[in-house]
Each structure stands twice: as C-alpha cells, then as structure tokens.
Amino acid sequence: MGKIKTAAKIMLHPVRYVRRSKCQQSYLTFIGRYLNVSGRIYATYEALEAQPPEADRYITGSDQVWGGVLKANYLCFVRDNSKKMAYAASFGRDEISREQMEAVKPWVRKFEKVSVREPSGISICKRMGVAAEEMTDPALLLEKEEYPADRRAAERDKAAVFCYFLNMDDAEEIHWPEIQEFAKQRGKTVKVAAVPHTERVISSSSLVYPSPEEWLGYYEKAEYIFTNTFHGTVFAIIFRKKFLVFLQEGKTKAQNGRLVSLLKKFDLENRFYHAGERVEEQMERPIDWNTAEKAVICARERAALFLKGEGGGEQQYGI
C-alpha cells in the first residue's frame, strides 16, 4: 500500500515538474549567453589538474565556495601559484571544523591575495596564518541597469510582492500567513520563486519558475521583497526595494552571520523581521538609501583596487 501512495504522490504535480525542468534549462541558456566558459568539460578533478584551462589569472570566490574541502574550489589545479586570488570567498559559517582547517590551510596559503565576504572569514584565515581582507559580494559591483532583467513575466503576474526563500521546511519559518495578509490588505499579488523546499509548503498558485532574467525582472517590478537569503537581500539593495529579511532557523541558521554582516555594513539592520511587531510597520520603515549607496560606492572602489592588485598586504604564515 505504501508503494501505491508513493507513486500517487509523484504524479500529483506533473505540471510543477515540467516547469522546474524548463527553469533549469533556462539557467543553462543564461550561462551560454552571458558567460565565457571553457569548451572542455571536466568530469573529474584529476582531469582538471592534468589539463587546466589557460588563463592570465585565476580567481575563486563569492558564495560558499570554501564551505567544504573541494580542491577545485581552492584552485589547487593552478600550477603557477602567483596567478591565483580569492575574491569575497565565504566559508558559509562563522566557524569551521578542525578537520577542514587542517585540510585547507596549505591550499589557502598558496594564494597570492585573499579576500573574504564576512568578518568571520577574516578570523578563520588569520588562524591559518593568512592575512585576508573583507570584500563585498560581486553582485553588488554592478549597477542595476547592467543586469538583464526581463519584466514581462512579472508584469503578466502583476507581482507587486515578490518572495525568495531557501532552506525552509515550514511556512511558519517565513511567516507566510502574515505575508499573505500584508499583500491582501494592499490589494497586491504575491509571487514566490519556486525552489524544492518552497514547493512543499507554498500553494502552486503563488509559485513562479523564472529564468535568471525573469527572476531579475520580478525584483525590478516588485514594490516589496520578502526573503531569508543573502543574495535575495543583495538584489533588494541593488534594486532599492522595500524589503524584509527573515533569519533562517534549524540546521541552516549558521548561515545568518553573512546576512547580519551584510545589513550592518550598509546600515540596514532595521530590515530584519522582529516577531511581535506588525509586518506592515516593519516593511514601511524608512530606508536611508543615501547612506547605503555611499557604502556600495566605497565597496566598489576597494574591490577595484584589490582586483587590480593594489592594496592589501603580503600573506603572513607561521601561526
């Protein structure tokens, strides 16, 4: 009987699986259109090490590339160590295990220059004997006009309230009933970017499966953004939207440190959701975009100097 139930469950939402497949294909199309990728496919790390792509400089970074011990993410395949740097690399948490520390320490020490995305990354690198700088996420290095936003899907959906959530197993974690009530009181349509976990708890009528360009279009079109993710917050800042951020719970709450660091850096800590306060009051709090913009400009200038090889200091070993 259990097998019959399982089979029935798989067939419950065939349209959803088709939409997800089309969404995934759109990401491959995006990569082919906008990214200069190698024509060679590397099936194993050994193949990458045996015949690495040729480049004047190798850069790893952004997101949680140093959240584990994958040698490729630490550019171990690069033969000339002076050619590699880390830009805004993240360990994905405030602390790493002793085992990971011992594994990656010799790899990180071989970088010409290291920058990380959060202050906690600086502390981790210091314990490895590496002097690291803090740099802003590369998504913030571009102006909003430089992003290929396609608003047609968002305009068709009249999506004035857009949500982007990750790592949640229960609608209460992102206060979904409150978001729905917030949109209802304003007569606004709310849409949620579908990912596997949100599909489990959010009604299909509220889900959308956007391509990367359409995802940007939803941000550009929206009046209000709700998110619990780092990059969901980054793009709310880029597009200067009224937004509210929910901290993650459970096993992934260790990722909240980068959100706290980001909003503190841009003096936007009042965008965190606080239980017990009405969503309407929190969302409508004024945002000092002038202060945030000054911080963004300063971060871009520092990034330009770092990537040009200026600023920073020599790596320090021996700790």
Confidence of residue 57 (pLDDT cuts 50, 70, 90): very high
| pTM confidence score | 0.87
The type of residue at 13 is H
* pLDDT for position 296: 95
Instruction: Please count the other Cβ atoms lying within 10 Å of the Cβ belonging to residue 146.
Output: 9
* pLDDT for position 14: 66
Gap between the terminal Cα atoms of the chain: 61
pLDDT in tens, 78-132: 988 889 999 999 998 889 999 999 999 999 999 999 999 989 999 999 999 999 9
Whether 208 and 193 have beta carbons less than 8 Å apart is answered as yes
Confidence of residue 319 (pLDDT cuts 50, 70, 90): very low
Confidence of residue 38 (pLDDT cuts 50, 70, 90): confident
* pLDDT for position 3: 40
CATH superfamily of 144-294: Glycogen Phosphorylase B; (3.40.50.2000)
pLDDT in tens, 198-208: 888 898 899 99
Q: What is the mean pLDDT of residues 304-314?
A: 74
For residue 312, pLDDT beyond 70:
no
What would you report as the CA-atom Rg of the chain, rounded to the nearest whole angstrom? 21
Task: From 136, 144, 143, select the one nearest 305 (Cα to Cα).
Answer: 136
* pLDDT for position 318: 35
Task: Give the start-to-end residue ranges of the domains of the chain.
Answer: 45-135, 144-294
Residue 142 buriedness (CB in 10 A; 0-12 / 13-18 / 19+) = exposed
Task: From 35, 57, 122, 68, select the one nearest 316 (Cα to Cα).
Answer: 122
Confidence of residue 13 (pLDDT cuts 50, 70, 90): low
For residue 4, pLDDT beyond 80:
no
Q: Reduce the secondary structure of the chain to three states and give it as a string.
A: CHHHHHHHHHCCCHHHHHHHHHHHHHHHHHHHHHCCCCCCCCCCHHHHHHCCCCCCCEEEECCCCCCCCCHHHHCCCCCCHHHEEEEEECCCCCCCCHHHHHHHHHHHCCCCEEEECCHHHHHHHHHCCCCCEECCCHHHHCCHHHCCCCCHHHHHHCEEEEEECCCCCCHHHHCHHHHHHHHHHHCCEEEEECCHHHHHHCCHHHEECCCHHHHHHHHHHCCEEEECCHHHHHHHHHCCCEEEECCCCHHHHHHHHHHHHHHHHCCCHHHECCCCCCHHHHHCCCCCHHHHHHHHHHHHHHHHHHHCCCCCCCCCCCC
* pLDDT for position 218: 98
For residue 8, pLDDT beyond 60:
no
